[in-house]
Structure 1
Amino acid sequence: MGKVGVVFVPLSDATGTTQVVTDNEEHREVLQSLPTESVVLVEGVVSDRPGHNLNKDMSTGDIEVQAKNIKILNKSSESLSFYPFSKAGGNTTEEMRLRERCLEIRRHQLQNILRFRSKVSSIIRQYLISEGFIEVETPTLFKPTPEGAREYLVPTREKGKFYSLAQSPQQFKQLLMVGGVDRYFQFARCYRDETSRVDRQPEFTQIDLEMSFTSAQDLMSLIESMMTQLLKSLDYKFTAPFPVMTYREAMDDYGSDKPDTRLGMKFNWLSEKFKDTSTLVAFDIPKEFLNQKKGLSFDTSVEMSNGIIFTYRNGHVNVIADGGGVLSESIINDKENTINKLKEILGDRDCVVTSFDEEKHKDSALDNLGKFRIENGSFLKETKELHSQFELLWVTGFPLFEEEEEGGGTVIKSVHHPFTAPVPEHEELMYSTDANQLTKIVGQQYDLVVNGWELGGGSIRIHNPLLQEHVFENILKAETTSFSHLIKGLWSGCPPHGGIALGLDRLIALLCNTKTIKEVIAFPKSLQGYDAMCGSPATLTDDQLLEYHLKIN
């Protein structure tokens, strides 16, 4: 409200907010009676604001609209539970904001994110088209397969018959290669019945592509060129070419297969073992913690079957996690001599240390140390203003198989998925019956990591039907009926091929510096997988259940 007889009203649309001014009595009565968030049509003259009314905090703060005609298009309710432009709006709960998502989308920040997402998608689409790719949509309704994550099942009216929502277009895009579509892409909707996280939703979008007659290096070069063009066009700072490290190097240096290298804290492998038995690996405590006397955080819970994690500062040892072993027993039974020995090995450094006694416990120990490195990295991100820095890197050379305990014994599982080809020099090992040999096989897999997030991953696929059948039947001990369509396609003369999938939601979240991918999706699910706005998932009536031959116990 302005001076007597004059009304100032903020009018918002998709492009921003503009001040509307009127001294017309009829207009004044209309505007004063309208509930907030109502929809109106204003016709008027754009003019400069008087000097005393300038607002430097608004992009339109130097102009105003002198209203000549105002028409009400739709009155909002006078009792809205959520007001997107209210100063108190930021204090509402996440549940309320998700329930009133259609109103929250009116916020300029979310509007800008959605428009930015559209722009990024357009740049990527045009790049791929310019490289000879064609956009092909693959089915969302698929069939249940033992491919990896839990699936969402879709009942049909035919008794006992179910679809599943596609976890990814993986098998369809390989069949497109069989069909001679040598360069395919799509912005694919994918569905996985998994627990939500900051970087995961039950349904998500991935930039999916596949190429025939290609190599891992060709695909990595293509994606690197695409990302370089994208980031340059958006004026982001990054380093190119992207560094490449193997899975083994990533684990040994950072305790993670998706390392955030901006944080530093690279692991040091100490040459001297404790009592010639325990291998010691450490990372130095950053000076930001030491200078500001900020305590390290160790809230992450870890499970250790062997070894110990501790901080070492000024000759003092503070145990964080203990899984037993030589060093653990020595600290418990002979602490003074143990600390003196550690002083000889560690000197005057301030560090976090882990130990392990046997090679089979190495990756577990490194993984746990890596978790503490990441946990304390959030403070460094703010201190060093790392949010504006993009570090992209490739991780390659992943193991193809791993051994897992199951049913009182051990089984061989695919680390990524069962369609990844081994590196040529390991192909003979694929026919070994020794689990130790199988877990040594390296796959032709490559992951693109950005600031500690796995943006995407891909591989060169198995195109030899005999080898693919062998993987299913003899290595994974899996039934092949679910994959009969793929095997048949491979037998039809399938060219060598490979591909990759990049998470679009993760990419936008990284570019917009949001904490979760929910903030860059128009209608996201809650952490529990619920849609609070629409009330899904929902229950069915008995008649609906009967139509689909279902019964709830």
Structure 2
Amino acid sequence: MLEHLGEFKRTHYCGDVTGKDVGDRVRVAGWVDSTRDHGGVVFVDLRDRTGKVQVVFSPEISEEIVERAKKLRDEFVIAVEGEVRRRPPGTENPKLKTGQVEIYAEKLQILNKSLPLPFPIEDDVKVGEETRLKYRFLDLRRKKMAENIIFRHRLYQITRRVFNEEGFVEIETPYLTKSTPEGARDFLVPSRIYPGKFYALPQSPQLFKQILMVSGFDRYYQIARCFRDEDLRADRQPEFTQIDFEMSFVTERDVMDVAERLLRELYSELLGVEIGEIPVMTYDEAMDRFGTDRPDTRFGLELKEITDIAKECQFKVFRTVAEKGGIVKAINFKGGAKLSRKEIDELTKFVGIYGAKGLAWIKVLSEGLQSPIVKFFSEGEMNRILERLEAEVGDILFFVADKKDVVNQALANLRLKLGKMAGLIDEDKVNVLWVVDFPMFEWNEDENRWEALHHPFTSPKEEDVEILLESPEKVRARAYDMVLNGVEIGGGSIRIHREDIQEKVFKVIGLSDEEAKERFGFLLEALKYGAPPHGGMAFGLDRLCAIMRKEESIRDVIAFPKTQRGQCLLTGAPDTVREEQLEELHIKIESEENEE
């Protein structure tokens, strides 16, 4: 028979009962984690979000309470009152904070029962993610998941404290706003009051935080919810959270200093890890050495370009690419000469995922060089390659020749794969760096036009403003990304605060005056009324939290995430709605038959 809580008032959380409470009467409540019947004495591990405590139901106290305890099953919800005693010598559990004590139960209230579980409440549970997400209320009871959510809570609190101490003001920006495409599809919300018109959920607070700078709130921050209707993967969600901040009358270094302080305090307080000086690397250097603008600097295997040598060699694949404006780069996989031909073939298929048409290789062996391409190089050319790649006996050299983007992407990913294969990546290491001096624009071949590499409100370098319209490919942005262990965890820029420069940027990316006014008219209008120089940044909170918790997926640091297909398996969203609701919104759903 189930009971009511009645006058019962909890005095302690389960995980807070320790040796200092010996001799005291306590009241605890929670879920039955496990039960054990030892010759008439029933032991129950009782769990709440703080941890577990052992409860003893003994005939010494009451035969009746023992019989009732024998009916308890996993995940029953109970309340217990009893005396705290020290565990007998030899029965202590050093793995638990409460492992020196136990509660001798004098009262037991069974508050609710539980059906048999679809999976056990264990950290190393072997169950598919879909089942975990369907029964998320059970999944969140697992210690690891509960700790992830509490860790995230603490991250929020430290973030707010740091910004408050830096003189920032926390301001919320709207969820229902105007559709201003920023690189991904908007989630649209139909308006009942204005038939045929729509709100959009914000992809970021970008325009509003710039308006706040124009409004005189020179230091703004927000832990902001953002929405993007895009194809998903492990590190993306349709709704996500970012730590967003903006500052007026600042340089890049001012913004970077605030970001560095926040990251240092998060790592220090949450993980006890001290982050030292954070190096700055230009975009060009990052691409040259690592093939990516988010390099993982915890290990070597850096890329080396040999295009100049390739132009002179007789290996047609290399020479043709070099003569047509492509590049040839290589990685020296130290000690990798022991790789089998099968393993090399698998690596060749791997780089093919990123557009590479092949993967050339040379093994450096004690008896000489082994490779099908060695014969196409003169002794002098080969010596130059070996010297540039610092090749030694036992190494294998990998080469990719193609367009610059293909080469960099293929070798950047190959580098990571080889690093993991060889165990070169220290997972406990925390390497942070800034990447700066990004190109302002990138060429969109599909649409045959320039587009902003970050977003169109990023300011060009002052010395590059005069070549904006004539040579957009040479313009550098006042942008900066923070990279942690090969993952971009945050990025920002100094913004455009002058209407004339903003109009030029819109012109470069192919926006007419009418289109610019339609999409961003309210920002352009604000820039006419004394907009101050300003800049800011946003951290991807979900990704940062996942990295700090060493989780592969951000879904494990979000209480109620969506699947990779954007579904909530717990609630069944997205779902159909009643016809009456659609009529109120002046929306009619056409069936697939009608579409055909």
Q: What TM-score comes out, normalization by structure 1 length?
A: 0.89
- CA shift, 1:69, in A, is 0.8
Q: What's the offset of the Cα at 1:540?
A: 2.1
1:453-474 deviation line (CA, Å, top 9, x unaligned): 1001000000001221232245
Q: Which one scores higher on RCO, CA 8 angstroms, separation ≥ 6? A: 1
C-alpha contact (below 8 Å) 1:311/1:317 kept by paired residues: yes
Whole-Å Cα distance in 2 between the matches of residues 533 and 212 of structure 1? Answer: 43
Q: How many Å separate the matches in 2 of 1:346 and 1:473?
A: 45
The aligned residue for residue 346 of structure 1 is 385
- Per mean C-alpha deviation after superposition, the further-off stretch among 541-550 and 398-407 is 541-550
Deviation at 1:125, TM superposition (A): 1.0
Partner of 2:460: 422
Which residue of the partner structure matches residue 19 of structure 2? none
| Residue pair 1:186, 1:207 contacting (<8 A) in 2 also | yes
Between the two proteins, the alignment pairs up a number of residues equal to 523
Give the match for residue 455 of structure 1.
Answer: 489
1:483-524 deviations in Å (ceiling 9; x for gaps): 111111111110000000001111111111111111111111
SS state of the match for residue 464, structure 2? helix
Aligned residue in 2 for 1:523:
560
1:47 counterpart SS class: strand
Quote how far apart the aligned CAs of 1:271 are.
7.5
- 1:55 to 1:303, Cα distance in 2 relative to 1, 3 A: closer
Q: Does 1:396 align with 2:436?
A: yes
- The answer on 1:13 being equivalent to 2:28 is no
CA distance in 2, matches of 1:364, 1:473: 29
- The one of 150, 166, 172 equivalent to 2:208 is 172
Amino acid at match of 2:535: G
**What secondary structure is seen at the aligned counterpart in 2 of 1:163?**
strand
Query: Does the 8 Å contact 2:582/2:588 carry over to 1?
Result: yes
Q: In structure 1, what is the equivalent of residue 427 of structure 2? A: 387
Residues 302-317 of structure 1: matches in 2 within 5 Å?
Answer: 302=352, 308-314=358-364, 315-317=369-371
Q: Partner of 1:187: helix, strand, or coil?
A: strand
1:143 aligns with 2:178: yes
Q: Distance in 2 between matches of 1:339 and 1:550?
A: 72
Note if contact 2:459-2:494 (Cα within 8 Å) is conserved in structure 1.
Answer: yes
Equivalent in the alignment of 1:29 = 67
Q: 2:376 aligned with 1:337, yes or no?
A: yes
Amino acid aligned to 1:255: G
Give 1:300's match in structure 2, choosing from 328, 350, 355: 350
Deviations 1:267-300 (A, max 9, x none): 223385124243532221144x568989566253
Which of these residues, 363, 375, 380, is aligned with residue 417 of structure 2? 375
- Contact 2:226–2:241 (8 Å) recurs in 1: yes
How far 1:106 sits from its partner (Å)? 0.8
The amino acid across from 1:517 in the alignment is: I
- Paired residue type of 1:222: V
1:113 is displaced (CA, Å) by: 1.4
Matches of 1:385 and 1:259, distance apart in 2: 13
Q: In structure 2, the residue corresponding to 1:422 is in which secondary structure?
A: coil
Asked if the contact 1:243–1:394 (Cα under 8 Å) also holds between the matched residues in 2, the reply is yes
1:120-519 residue pairs with structure 2 within 5 A? 120-157=155-192, 158-237=194-273, 239-270=275-306, 272-276=308-312, 277=319, 278=322, 279-287=327-335, 289=336, 295=343, 298=347, 300-302=350-352, 308-314=358-364, 315-317=369-371, 336-338=375-377, 343-347=382-386, 349=392, 350-356=395-401, 361-380=403-422, 383-384=423-424, 386-406=426-446, 410-432=448-470, 437-478=471-512, 479-480=515-516, 481-519=518-556
CA distance in 2, matches of 1:3, 1:237: 44
Q: What secondary structure does 1:268 align onto?
A: strand
Q: Secondary structure at the match of 1:51?
A: coil
Name 1:328's counterpart in structure 2: none
| 8 A contact 1:184–1:209 mirrored in 2 | yes
Structure 1 residue 136: deviation in Å? 0.4
**3-state DSSP class of the match of 1:209?**
strand
1:51 matched to 2:68:
no
The amino acid across from 1:240 in the alignment is G
Q: Which letter maps to 2:240?
A: F
| 1:40 counterpart SS class | strand
CA–CA separation in structure 2 for the residues paired with 1:520 and 1:499: 25
AA aligned opposite 2:509: I
**How far does the alpha carbon of each residue in 1:10-52 deviate from its partner, in whole angstroms, 9 at most, with x for none?**
1101111111101232222222223321111111111111124
Distance in 1 between the 2:201 and 2:419 partners? 37
Between the two proteins, what is the percent identity of the paired residues? 40
Post-superposition CA distance 1:104-141 (Å, at most 9, x none): 11111111111111112211211111110010010111
In 1, Cα distance between the equivalents of 2:465 and 2:168?
30
Provide the rounded CA distance (Å) in 1 between the counterparts of 2:188 and 2:300: 44
Secondary structure of residue in 2 paired with 1:300:
helix
- Match 1:115 to one of 108, 128, 150: 150
RMSD: 2.4
Q: Report the counterpart of residue 323 of structure 1 in structure 2.
A: none
- Determine if contact 1:196/1:202 at 8 Å carries over to the other structure: yes
User: CA offset at residue 441 of structure 1?
Assistant: 0.6
* Matched-pair contact (CA < 8 Å) for 2:173–2:208: yes
- State the Cα distance separating 1:62 from its structure 2 match: 2.2
Q: 1:15, 1:262 → 2: CA distance?
A: 35
Tell me the amino acid that sits aligned with residue 117 of structure 2: L
Long gaps (5+) in structure 2: 1-35, 313-318, 591-596
Between the aligned partners of 1:49 and 1:292, the Cα distance in structure 2 is 56
TM-score, reference length from structure 2? 0.83
Structure 1 pair 56/274, CA: closer, same or farther in 2 (3 Å)? same
**1:166, 1:351 → 2: CA distance?**
49
